[in-house]
């Protein structure tokens, strides 16, 4: 099966500019996650979707970050305006509908590396 | 709240030597535990997971991990390191109903020839 697709792989922008990342999950996967991975740290969950509904966005900086998954398939993550501290790899992951109570395995994309100058 | 602590941000071993990567977790409910590996410029790939049952879990590439409730640990081991094992390793915790993974800060494994 095809994996989780993400684009762009790399993006360099100036602070206060905007950027958008796109993710296409594995076909049929109901749950989609966006994680932020800052250099030297583990991934941190930004937002989780179940189909096109938000399950958890408690750690999403809503003043500058937004995400949508309009048709319950692909998703976009937007940052506007970007700050220096947003430099990170943005990982998208997907998993099947959770029938295991939390033991689902996440499949990750290769990530989108953002550098904010 | 759940959390994970990985002891040692960088571990270096010789080729053929034992690999031991340490992970301790905090969870008020029975945990589900995972180890993921990340190669340069790639996404995370599942090595193994523990949910219930046998506490010694075998994964891909010869890795295994043992869930020790009394020590709140889930250390990752491999008897003999290969050069191809050089990567970043992440321990993660979830639980029934939690629906999300909480990751540790990662351990970078270097293999010396």
Put simply, the answer to whether A41 touches B9 (Cβ < 8 Å) is no
Cβ contact A7:A110 at 8 Å: no
Put simply, the answer to whether B106 touches A44 (Cβ < 8 Å) is no
Greater confidence, B64 or B41?
A: B64
Count the Cβ atoms, other than its own, within 10 Å of residue B49: 19
Residues of chain A neighbouring B51 (CB-CB closer than 8 A) = 100, 103
Put simply, the answer to whether B95 touches A93 (Cβ < 8 Å) is no
Cβ contact A109:A91 at 8 Å: yes
A52: left (phi over 0), alpha (psi -120 to 50) or beta: alpha
Omega of the bond leading into A8 within 30 degrees of 0 (cis): yes
| pLDDT value, residue B52 | 85
- The mean pLDDT of chain A is 92
Pairing between β-strand A10-13 and β-strand A112-116 as defined by DSSP bridges: parallel
Candidates A21, A30, A102, partner chain B, best to mutate (most B CBs within 10 A): A102
Which of B43, B46, B99 has the CB atom closest to A55's CB atom?
Answer: B99
Given CB atoms, is A43 within the 8 Å cutoff of chain B?
yes
Is the pLDDT at A98 greater than 90? The verdict is: no
Is the pLDDT at A89 greater than 90? The verdict is: yes
Cβ contact B99:A56 at 8 Å: yes
Which of A48, A101, A110 has the CB atom closest to B41's CB atom?
Answer: A110
How confident is the model over B88-106, as a mean pLDDT? 87
How confident is the model over B57-65, as a mean pLDDT? 95
How confident is the model over B15-41, as a mean pLDDT? 93
- The mean pLDDT of chain B is 93
């Amino acid at each position: 099966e095809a994996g989780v697709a993400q684009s762009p792989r790399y993006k360099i922008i100036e602070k206060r500019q905007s950027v958008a990342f796109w993710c296409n999950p594995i076909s049929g996967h109901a749950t989609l996650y966006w994680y932020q991975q800052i250099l030297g740290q583990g991934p941190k969950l930004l937002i989780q979707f179940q189909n096109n509904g938000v399950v958890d966005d408690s750690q999403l900086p809503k003043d500058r970050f937004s995400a949508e998954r309009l048709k319950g398939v692909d998703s976009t993550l937007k940052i506007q305006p970007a700050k220096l501290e947003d430099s990170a790899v943005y990982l998208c992951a997907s998993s099947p509908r959770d029938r295991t109570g939390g033991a689902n395995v996440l499949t990750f994309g290769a990530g989108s590396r953002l550098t904010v100058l | 709240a759940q959390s994970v602590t990985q002891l040692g941000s960088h571990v270096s071993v010789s080729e053929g030597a034992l690999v031991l990567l340490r992970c301790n977790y905090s969870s008020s409910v029975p945990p589900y535990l995972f180890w993921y590996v990340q190669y340069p410029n790639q996404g995370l790939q599942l090595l193994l997971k523990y949910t219930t049952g046998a506490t010694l879990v075998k994964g891909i590439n010869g890795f295994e991990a043992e869930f020790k409730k009394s020590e709140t640990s889930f250390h990752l081991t491999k008897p003999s390191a290969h050069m191809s094992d050089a990567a970043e390793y992440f321990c993660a915790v979830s639980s029934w109903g939690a629906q999300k993974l909480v990751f540790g800060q990662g351990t970078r494994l270097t293999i010396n020839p």
